Structure 1
Amino acid sequence: MRTSTNTHFSQSGFHHIALRARDFDASLVFYTEGMGFPVAHSWGDGDKRIALLGLGDGNYLELFACPEATEIVGGNQFFHLALRSLDVDSDIEKVRLLGCPITIEPKSVEVNGKTIRVGFFLGPEGETWEFFQNAEL
């Protein structure tokens, strides 16, 4: 278990991010085969399937079968999800080959005197993902 430096809570940091998938099977194939996130745990069946996918760093993406259009409780607060990257350009090319629309081609951006490299794409459910490259942030 990781040790947190957050003094407000007993442990802090992301454990998982949950995503509702209208096409669970297609999303599962995309994330396991295309993105390389192995199934760490799964449970349920039919329209109640859930899979916890390992991101490779102790964090997870939790995929929920949600074939019926449902209202997102609390609205859509997430702007995008970001993955650390050692090579944004290469990672964007990999998701491009998977058929993902690239919404922002890789580019360098200055943030508080530090150069970061970013690139954005859409996942199979229309969710926005970012590859974020900078060893200091």
Structure 2
Amino acid sequence: MSLITGLHHAALRCCGKAEMDSVIAFYCEVLGMKHLRTWGEGDQAGSMLDTGHGIIELFADAEPGRRPGQVDHIALATDKVDECVAACTKEGLPVTMMPTDIVVPSENPYALRIAFVQGKAGEIIEFFHER
């Protein structure tokens, strides 16, 4: 039985709001993706773009000097966030955020249950459930 229903999103950190806006323009205007939602202001802004089979999540708070190709985290879609964390804990993986209910204050409030763990290769994994 799989706990995962698919890849929900990959997250990219941009160096500031201007860079994030440029990334949004490229993906939406050049590649034709759909802009789903935006929240926050300035360096605390975030946004989501629909690729058609998953989402690219953007944040404007990257530290200068990040390396090309750097992805912040991968988010796995699941309706069993707590069970995923329990399975990871059993494997000895560090939990960096326990299962938590949040609401992203975007144009249409976006209710989620999420958790984060550090994977076997040091990657950050988010378990992501849209409520």
Shorter-chain TM-score bucket reads 0.3 to 0.5
Scaled by the length of structure 1, what TM-score is found? 0.44
Scaled by the length of structure 2, what TM-score is found? 0.46
> Which structure features the higher share of strand residues?
2
Q: Give the structure with higher Rg (CA).
A: 1
Question: Relative CO higher for 1 or 2, CA cutoff 8 Å, sep ≥ 6?
Answer: 2
